[in-house]
Structure 1
Amino acid sequence: MAMMKRAGQPIIALALVAAVLTSCTNADENADAARATPPLRTISFNLYTHCGIDDARIGSTYFEAETPLSDGSGNPPEGWDNPFQHGTMTLKTETEAVFTDDAGHEVKFRARPGAKGFKRICS
């Protein structure tokens, strides 16, 4: 019976080593993934709507609406305040943001890499 215990010990030891190595690898991969994806941030935001909903500046980055909105005459659509709509901007990633407000509006934005200003400035 003593021989059986010894024979099984290397197998148990190898299983334990494999389990430890696997959990270390998964922990490292999870840490890398967490560092690669910035945390969600939601900020209070006044979206400029005077010429329609087309772009926004968040910090020093210019974003453009995935689907620009207007009334067809260069104004915000019906139901939007003018010249600003107050709400929140949620930064999903460094290049994706979503504006929402209490009226139920939602606009998705994508960063414009290298942009130094708004696409269009109206009077």
Structure 2
Amino acid sequence: MAERTGQIIFTLALVTGLLTGCTKAGESREIGESRRAGPTTTSGPVTPSARATPSTQVIPFELYTHCGIDEARVGSTYYEAVTPLSDGSGNPPDGWGNPTQRGTMTVKSTTEAVFTDDAGHEVKFRARPGATSFKRICA
């Protein structure tokens, strides 16, 4: 009987793992969201509750930095950096991860967001009203 109960618990744990999917710890993604993105994007954790709203939200965020820091997407809102950052050759500046930098995005309003990380970086973003894609795709 105890062996059978153990088998049932193991099977339930396995099924639960399969149903929740394979993501990194603390990471989730909207259905249909792709990691392929523009110059800088929400290549990381974005949940339906992370969409830009009038109330301040702080969410884990993986900023795409490969071609410099210029754009980001939170939910369905596209943002552009108030002051884009680059090394002058289309790469992130010294001290930034490449191709991504993990941190948090604070959505302050429907038009303003701020990325910060443990390295002390801070980038302010403003929404691009009506945008449905990135201005350019990083090659």
The answer to whether TM tops 0.5 is yes
- Structure 1 segment 32-51 matched on structure 2, within 5 A: 38-51=54-67
Match of 2:112 among 86, 93, 96: 96
Q: Say what the alpha-carbon RMSD is for the aligned residues.
A: 1.1
Matched, 1:81 2:97: yes
Greater CA radius of gyration, 1 or 2? 1
TM-score by length of 2: 0.61
Gaps of 5+ in 2: 1-52
Instruction: Measure the CA separation in 1 of the matches of 2:77 and 2:133.
Output: 9
Matched, 1:109 2:130: no
Counterpart amino acid of 2:119?
Answer: A
Instruction: Measure the CA separation in 2 of the matches of 1:74 and 1:104.
Output: 21
| Structure 1 residue 120: Cα displacement | 1.3
Corresponding position of 1:121: 137
TM-score by length of 1: 0.69
Matched, 1:55 2:55: no
Structure 1 runs (4+) greater than 4 angstroms displaced: none
Corresponding position of 1:15: none
> Which protein is richer in helix relative to its size?
1
| Structure 1 residue 44: Cα displacement | 0.3
| Structure 1 residue 38: Cα displacement | 2.5
| Structure 1 residue 94: Cα displacement | 0.7
Q: How many residues align?
A: 87
Listed one character per residue, the Cα deviations across residues 81-103 of structure 1 (whole Å, up to 9, x for unaligned) are: 00000000000101100000000
Calculate percent identity across the aligned residue pairs: 77
